[in-house]
Amino acid sequence: MDTPAECESCARPGTDLVRVIRVWVTPATWENDNTEKVSEAPSPEWWCFSCRTHYPHRPLES
């Protein structure tokens, strides 16, 4: 698979794109039984360095 020209998160053109799985973390609250929930995107995305710095994700296992 070819590396796209742009980051798939912020759409900025980038040369330092890495395939990652986007992760959402829902903090524990009294509403959800004090259990932290982690959900993952169903498919990997190409992210630039800036997005990898600012947003939760995990590396794609290759």
Q: Which positions lie near Zn ion, rule CB under 5 A?
A: 7, 9-10, 48, 51
Q: Is-contact 38 25, C-beta < 8 A?
A: yes
> Which is nearer to Zn ion, 18 or 51 (by Cβ)?
51
- The residue among 10 and 38 lying less far from Zn ion, judged by its C-beta, is 10
Measured from the CB atom, the residue of 7 and 20 that comes closer to Zn ion is: 7
Question: How many residues are recorded in the chain?
Answer: 62
Whole-number minimum distance, CB 37 to Zn ion, in Å?
A: 25
Q: Could you give the C-alpha distances from 3 to 26, 28, 31, in angstroms and in order? A: 30, 36, 41
